[in-house]
Amino acid sequence: MALISQFGDWRSSGMTDKDKKAAIAGAAGTAAGAAGSVGTVAAAGTATGLGATGITSGLAAIGGVVGGGMATGLAITVAAPLVVGGAAYGLYRWLKKD
């Protein structure tokens, strides 16, 4: 919650309780997606780990899945947490319909 409160006082922002909880669910989903992306990059390449060779080969391996290279792997790795966070936000709002 500290991260969310850095962007303003969300407790008095006029958001409903449901919106606040949905935002927290989205933030938690984004954090989980980011952790998953880092783990995937570290494990996917020919040189495992988070050193320069591990990151480079991991991103290239991820990009290679869709026929691209390291830049494509970077785009996929950056987009994945956003997709997971958006899905968590949407799922929470859908499950908690009034």
Annotated domain spans of the chain: 17-95
Cα–Cα distance for residue pair 37/74, rounded to 1 Å: 10
Rounded CA separation 66/77 (Å): 13
Q: What is the pLDDT of residue 65?
A: 96
31 with 95: CB under 8 angstroms? no
Residues 25/94, Cβ–Cβ less than 8 Å: no
Task: Give the whole-angstrom CA distance, residue 27 versus residue 1.
Answer: 9
Give residue 36's pLDDT.
95
Burial track 12-51 (b if 16+ CB lie within 10 A, e otherwise)? eeeeeeeeeebbbbbbebbeebbeebeebbeebbeeeeee
Q: What is the pLDDT along the chain (98 residues), one digit of tens a residue?
A: 455 555 556 566 678 888 889 989 999 999 999 999 999 999 999 998 999 999 999 999 999 999 999 999 999 999 999 999 999 999 999 998 86
